[in-house]
Amino acid sequence: MSKRLECYVSVDIEASGPVPGLYSMLSIGACHVGDPTKTFYRELCPLNDNFIAEALKVSGFSLTELQHQGVAPTQAMHSFEQWLTSLTPNNERLVFVGLNATFDWSFINYYFWAFLGRNPFGISGLDIKAYYRGATGCNWAETTSRHMDQQLHPQQTKSHHALEDALYQAELFREIRQQLLNSSQKK
């Protein structure tokens, strides 16, 4: 039985709070990990007026502005699904990659199911923090982006803009994979 090829997609979101449904996903940024020139970005119309002030401060979004300028969630998720499909012409398995994937994954999964009735990523995602911990043997406190930056020296930086952060995460993931490859070749 041959292995199914995998397509790693770095995904980051900005939201108005910590829980999908109660709070809104405000933007989606994504890139193909192996070819970061392939990107996706949308700002979404909020589901409701709920927000945590710190979340809006971090993202810099205004719910009022997004009500007028954001894309409807159904349209955004349909566009995202089409973009994802374009990355896998040979039906590769899509792999969601995120930094603190549990947060971003929860919103992406909720929105795909709520607005399209399906999730092209399936039911799983790969968390860069856990991947880094497994690769290095560090403790959980050393899986912060700040610590990874000091060890991996990425060119990208974290900015709280969904696309920029997706590109940053993809670079971290590539660096960790390369270090694992290098260490396995030395054995």
DSSP code per residue over 74-95: HHHHHHHHHHHHHH-TT-PEEE
Residue of 68, 147, 153, 160 with catalytic role: 160
Rounded distance between C-alpha atoms, residue 77 and residue 47, angstroms: 13
Is-catalytic flag, 160? yes
d(CA 43, CA 161): 10
**What is the distance between the alpha carbons of residues 15 and 27, in angstroms, rounded to a whole number?**
7
Among 96, 3, 71, 87, smallest CA distance to 39 is for 87
Active site residues: 160
